[in-house]
Amino acid sequence: MYFDSHAHYNDERFNGDRETLLPALYEQHQVTCIMNVGYDLESSRQAVMLARKYPFVYASAGIHPHDAESIQEGDYACIEELLREDKVKAIGETGLDYHYDNSPRQLQKQAFDNHLRLAEKWNMPVIIHERDATWDVLDLLKTYHGEGVFHCFSGSVETAKQVLDMGLYLSFAGPVTFKNARRQQETAAYVPKDRFLIETDCPYMAPEPFRGRRNDSSFVYLMAEKIARLKGISKEEAAALSMANAKRLFRIE
Ligand SMILES: [Zn+2]
């Protein structure tokens, strides 16, 4: 059984088959838990609606760093309204993205900091997106006293150590399966058994051998298989460990 710790079934690429795909993941692909992640207000609301509809789907609420520039006064109050829902288990995704720089860096930092303060106030884990911004993300996290996960982690063992020292989790997505991904694979081999999650980040980031296709949670077993091989454990053990870790982090019974 698998916990896909980062998916976006609120994405329009699932508009055609969402209602048949989600039950099939549970019934045919052993995906028994999904964290459906919000990336703006509308997608966070949709994540909550999906979580209400499907018992095995949970939700997070937050605004992606890409959209930091368009955050309005009052948006955080809307997020807090969603956090009251039983099945909203995390805040995010938030963080910093200096690869695309879709929003000015100063506004990304402000938004990330605001999300961290919400996570502390609501005592909820934060889902962190980081791209080409490791130093600034780690710097802002120095003031954070809470839990969380770096999603789609692609950092080195050195960076992983700093993240782990902060008590945070690392989540591995499609790139860990790519042939040239030596750094991610070293990190996945290194991460302690009680601190890693697996995810698809669907519809993006399809793993090998499905790169370029629309991704979905039926591929999450490929991350379990890859990490199992890197750690010298069975696929079942990797799946069970990542399931237990995700449930602990997101406080799911
Ligand atoms: Zn995402």
pLDDT tens per residue across span 221-251:
999 999 999 999 999 999 999 999 999 999 9
The answer to whether 115 and 82 are in contact (CB under 8 A) is: no
Q: Given pLDDT bands bounded at 50, 70 and 90, which one contains residue 176?
A: very high
Q: Convert the pLDDT of each residue in 177-224 to its tens digit.
A: 999 999 999 999 999 999 999 999 999 999 999 999 999 999 999 999
pLDDT in tens, 107-149: 999 999 999 999 999 999 999 999 999 999 999 999 999 999 9
Q: Which of 137, 34, 28 is nearest to 87 (CA)?
A: 34
- Determine the distance separating the centroid of ligand 1 and the alpha carbon of 152, expressed in angstroms: 8
At 122 the pLDDT is 98
- Rounded to the nearest 10 degrees, the angle between the axes of helix 134-141 and helix 157-165 is 10
Q: Ligand 1 centre from 60 Cα, in Å? A: 11
Predicted confidence at residue 49, as pLDDT, reads 98
Å from CA of 175 to ligand 1 middle = 14
In whole angstroms, give the CA distance from residue 176 to residue 155: 11
- How far apart are alpha carbons 180 and 158 in whole angstroms? 19
From the CA of 179, how far away is ligand 1's center (Å)? Answer: 22
How close is the Cα of 207 to the center of ligand 1, in Å?
Answer: 15
- What residues contact residue 167 under an 8 Å CB cut-off, 6+ apart? 147
CA–centroid distance, 38 to ligand 1, in Å, is: 8
What pLDDT score was predicted for residue 23?
98
Whether 105 contacts 99, CB under 8 Å: no
**Exposure of 64 in the CB half-sphere (CA atoms within 13 A):** 17
Cα-based distances in Å from 233 to 79, 80, 217: 40, 40, 22
How many Å lie between the centroid of ligand 1 and the Cα of residue 51? 17
Q: How far is the CA of 8 from the centre of ligand 1 (A)?
A: 7
pLDDT, tens only, 22-40 = 999 999 999 999 999 999 9
The Cα–Cα gap between 128 and 133 comes to 11
* Residues β-bridged to residue 148: 126
